[in-house]
Homo-oligomer: A and B are copies of this chain.
Amino acid sequence: MARPRGFEPDTALAQIKDAFWRRGFDATSMQDIEAATGLKKQSLYRLYGDKRGMYLKALDHYGAHEAAEAAALLAGDGSAKARFERLFTHVVDSAVKDGDRRGCFLCNASIDQAPVNDDTRVSVARLMKAVRDAFDGALAASEPYKSKSAVRKQKAALLLASYFGLRVLVRAGMDEAVLRAAVRQAVAGI
């Protein structure tokens, strides 16, 4: 009894996410979002609320897909070292081979929106915690990290910093040589 929706809300949200991911919150106008989705503002506002709502939903979408995919790479089989090598190499490969220089949406949001918007800050904190847990879990796959939680915490902290830093370097356009070197050294220390 009602006209059916002419598009898929989830793929539209994925397109919104991509727009925010590339250019950040402020530099992405509603016009940009209309162009990215092929929809009109009316439909967008009705479905996702205001621009901030779209951004937060896009961030959640990132957590449910890209971040979860990364967590899956860490949760696979193999030693702790093998798991992190998988993740870090994947990051550099997609940057170099696919030319994906968007970096990490969570990382981008941490820098340009978390400090100025409360809702974004709590979303970022929540997603960050999930990433930390995934890192911790992957380390716990091998000794001595499995039994020694203190050294595991410390190692996980450095891996977390290295991971985000790597993705900053990717977005900054750093040369492949440096990215590869960082990955090699990071996994060598596990």
Using CB atoms, name the residue of chain B closest to A181: B157
Pair B154/A184 contact, Cβ less than 8 Å: yes
**B101 contacts A111, CB within 8 Å?**
no
Q: Is A168 an interface residue (CB 8 A)?
A: yes
Residues of B contacting A161 in the complex (Cβ-Cβ under 8 angstroms): 161-162, 165-166, 168-169, 182, 186
Q: Which residue of B lies closest to A184 (CB)?
A: B154
Q: Answer whether residue A87 sits at the interface, using C-beta atoms and an 8 A cutoff.
A: no
How many copies of this chain are found per oligomer? 2
Asked whether any CB of chain B lies closer than 8 Å to the CB of A1, the reply is no
Q: Which of B111, B160, B179 lies in contact with A111, CB distance below 8 A?
A: B111
* A99 contacts the other chain (CB 8 A): no
Could you tell me if A153 and B125 are in contact, using CB atoms closer than 8 angstroms? no
Q: Which of A35-43, A59-67, A113-121 contacts B (4 or more CB under 8 A)?
A: A113-121
Asked if A22 lies at the interface with its beta carbon under 8 angstroms from chain B, I say yes
Q: Is the CB of B27 within 8 A of A111?
A: no
A111 touches B103 (CB 8 A): yes
Does chain B have a CB within 8 A of A128? yes
Shortest Cβ distance from A164 into B: residue:
B165
Interface residues of chain A, those whose CB is within 8 Å of chain B, are 22-24, 26-27, 101, 103, 107-108, 110-112, 114-116, 121, 124-125, 128, 132, 153-158, 160-166, 168-169, 171-174, 178-179, 181-182, 184-186, 189
21 A-B pairs in the complex with CB atoms less than 8 angstroms apart: A24-B24, A24-B111, A26-B26, A107-B168, A108-B112, A110-B172, A111-B111, A111-B112, A115-B171, A121-B173, A125-B172, A128-B172, A154-B182, A157-B181, A157-B182, A158-B162, A158-B185, A160-B165, A161-B161, A161-B165, A161-B168
